Amino acid sequence: MTEPAPASESLEQAFAGERQLLFGLCYRMTGSAADAEDIVQETFARALAHPPPRSDAPWRPWLVRVALNLARDELRRRKRRSYCGPWLPEPVDDDELGLGAHEPALTTGRYELVESVSFAFLLALEALSPAQRAVLLLRDVFEYSSAETAAALDLGEANARVLLHRARRAMAEYDRSRFVPARAARQQSLELLTRFMGLFAQQDVAGMEKLLADDVVAYNDTDGRYHAAGIPVVGRSKVARFHAGIARLRAHERPRVSVRWMNGAPAVAVEFELEVADGLAPRFVTLGELDADGRVRRIYSVLAPAKLRALSPSGTGSPSSPRRRRRARRLAG
């Protein structure tokens, strides 16, 4: 005989207790906070509509399994859609990711929690299949056992081990160039990014070049909406001259500039007073990544409007989509 479904109070407790874990997992799966929020809401909506049969079992394994299936489906859909220019993850404030006061959020896994939300790591994950991505995150970030990972993905343990081996092999290039700054270096990266943005505003090519690594790469994600390089810009001189050119186009404007911590790294958020014409973005977020010598080796600038939730008028979060509001009402009711 099937046991009664869990009481609504139990589901409410599960929502409160597991939401941050599910959001963090789904964000790492998709690179999108908006998609992660939708997946978390859909997971709990499914729990309301079709709860697991046993009320005495913990909610977490069931919720993780449902969320991962939804995240894998979303990844497959995204890979079928076209995207104009370089794709970057959606920048998210550290507090929303549960990273706290800029600490390096350690685990004993292969990758630190803070490293696993960095743009470099999330971009490296793009080379993996949805199943490989899920296995790698569970095993090497969230420290699931082989048996727990297999159960979460409805796989045999042997299949899960094969997927993990292939995922780690696909991450080999990332691992070779991997550099995770120590806590003290995070302040250095903040100072360096602030200096770079100041030189950028001054159109100081020589000054910018001094802060850049020889093999620096600058990525600009606009989804084709605004003027920007449609491909990654590579090399110290080209990156400096590219930024100087952008600064010249906007030299007459006086934007609001704020420094914040996003994806475990310092970020500069820039907002202009008016929606400007001529194909220039009204707001953007720039994150920097240092190499072992303390020079900037990657510059990530996100200009695509759909990814700038953090720059909404309220300053945090984003207006809920109609779908998200409907799901929230279902859960609240």
The model's pLDDT over 250-277, given as tens digits with 9 standing for 90+, comes to 888 888 899 999 999 889 999 987 655 5
Classify residue 142: in a domain, yes or no: yes
Q: pLDDT digit string (tens) for 116-165? A: 999 999 999 999 999 999 999 999 999 999 999 999 999 999 999 999 99
- CATH code of the domain in which 204 resides: 3.10.450.50
Does 158 share its domain with 195?
Answer: no
3-class state of residue 220 by DSSP = strand
Does 151 share its domain with 225?
Answer: no
- CATH code of the domain in which 166 resides: 1.10.10.10
Residue 315 makes CB contacts below 8 A (sequence gap 6+) with: none
Does 15 share its domain with 66?
Answer: yes
Residue 171 makes CB contacts below 8 A (sequence gap 6+) with: 124, 125, 127, 128, 136
What's residue 308's pLDDT? 92
Does 136 share its domain with 114?
Answer: yes
Report strand pairing: 265-271 vs 283-290.
Answer: antiparallel
Residues of the chain with pLDDT under 50: 1-6, 101-105, 313-333
Question: What distances in angstroms separate CA 157 from CA 43, 110, 141, 145, one per listed residue?
Answer: 25, 19, 18, 10
Domain region containing 20: 1-81
Does 166 share its domain with 207?
Answer: no
What's residue 1's pLDDT? 37
What's residue 243's pLDDT? 94
Does 67 share its domain with 118?
Answer: no
User: Distance between CA atoms of 70 and 54, rounded to whole angstroms?
Assistant: 22
What's residue 225's pLDDT? 85
Domain count along the chain? 3
Name the phi and psi angles at 298, rounded to 5: -140, 140
Does 208 share its domain with 144?
Answer: no
Type of residue found at 307: K
What's residue 310's pLDDT? 67
Does 191 share its domain with 242?
Answer: yes
3-class state of residue 19 by DSSP = helix
Enter the pTM of the model: 0.86
Classify residue 139: in a domain, yes or no: yes
Does 168 share its domain with 209?
Answer: no
User: In the 8-state DSSP scheme, what is residue 129?
Assistant: -
